[in-house]
């Protein structure tokens, strides 16, 4: 198999994942705006933002292993990306809880959960993308 399209394929997967996360967070924020007002909406965005930011930084680190062919080095790079993603999420959440005084905790948790769970939704389109890129 030709490996020249590896970077393009993984880039497409990561951008699709980020798009799903953004859409999920936006939907939760809009629902929260109608149910509980502006602070709930901002809290939902503040919940989704750390996950999206962590996933973006993690995907940039994971993409560094596109040129590598050794499975163990790819795996180490992916685990490194995941560890940095969790670190970013924890730090940004900590800052959010400390700084934002009018926080609506339930809206934040729902936004966070939506963004975290919908990151896996991109896998449903993964096979279509790889077949198109080939």
> What sign does the dihedral 31-32-34-35 (CA atoms) show?
positive
Nearer to other proteins, 31 or 63 (CB): 63
Nearer to other proteins, 35 or 123 (CB): 123
Is the separation of the CB atoms in 119 and 21 below 8 Å? yes
Q: What is the rounded CA–CA span in Å between residue 89 and residue 105?
A: 16
| Binding region for other proteins (CB under 8 A) | 1, 3, 5-6, 9-10, 13-14, 17, 47, 51, 55, 58-59, 62, 65-66, 69, 71-72, 74-75, 78-79, 81-82, 85-86, 89-90, 93-94, 97-98, 103, 105, 108-109, 112-113, 116-117, 119-120, 122-123, 126, 130
Q: What is the rounded CA–CA span in Å between residue 21 and residue 56?
A: 10
Q: What is the rounded CA–CA span in Å between residue 79 and residue 61?
A: 10
Shortest CB 84 distance to other proteins, Å: 12
């Amino acid at each position: 198999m030709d490996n020249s399209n590896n970077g393009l394929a993984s880039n497409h997967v990561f951008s699709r994942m980020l798009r799903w996360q953004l859409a999920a967070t936006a939907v939760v924020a809009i629902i929260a705006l109608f149910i509980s007002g502006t602070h709930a909406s901002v809290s939902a965005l503040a919940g989704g933002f750390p996950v999206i930011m962590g996933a973006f930084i993690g995907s940039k680190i994971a993409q560094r292993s596109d040129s590598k062919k050794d499975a163990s080095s790819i795996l180490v790079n992916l685990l490194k990306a995941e560890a940095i993603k969790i670190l970013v999420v924890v730090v940004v959440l900590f800052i959010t809880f400390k700084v934002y005084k009018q926080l609506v905790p339930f809206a934040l948790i729902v936004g966070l959960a939506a963004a975290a769970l919908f990151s896996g939704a991109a896998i449903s389109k993964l096979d279509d993308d790889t077949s198109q890129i080939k």
